[in-house]
Amino acid sequence: MIEADPDNYFSDNRDYKTDVMAFWKIMVKSPPHTRIASMSVVKTFLAQYDVELGVKFWRDLRKRAKGSKSITRDIVPTNYELKKILLHADLKGRALFMSAGTSGMRIDEIPPNIYSS
Domain extent listing, the chain: 9-63, 79-114
Question: What band does 22 get if pLDDT is binned at 50, 70 and 90?
Answer: confident
Distance between CA atoms of residues 112 and 114, nearest Å: 5
Q: Where are the alpha helices (DSSP H) in the chain?
A: 16-27, 32-48, 55-63, 79-88, 91-103
What value does the mean pLDDT take over residues 74-99? 83
Computed over every residue of the chain, the mean pLDDT equals 78
Radius of gyration of the chain (CA): 22
Question: Is the pLDDT at 50 greater than 70, yes or no?
Answer: yes
pTM: 0.52
pLDDT, residue 86, reads 87
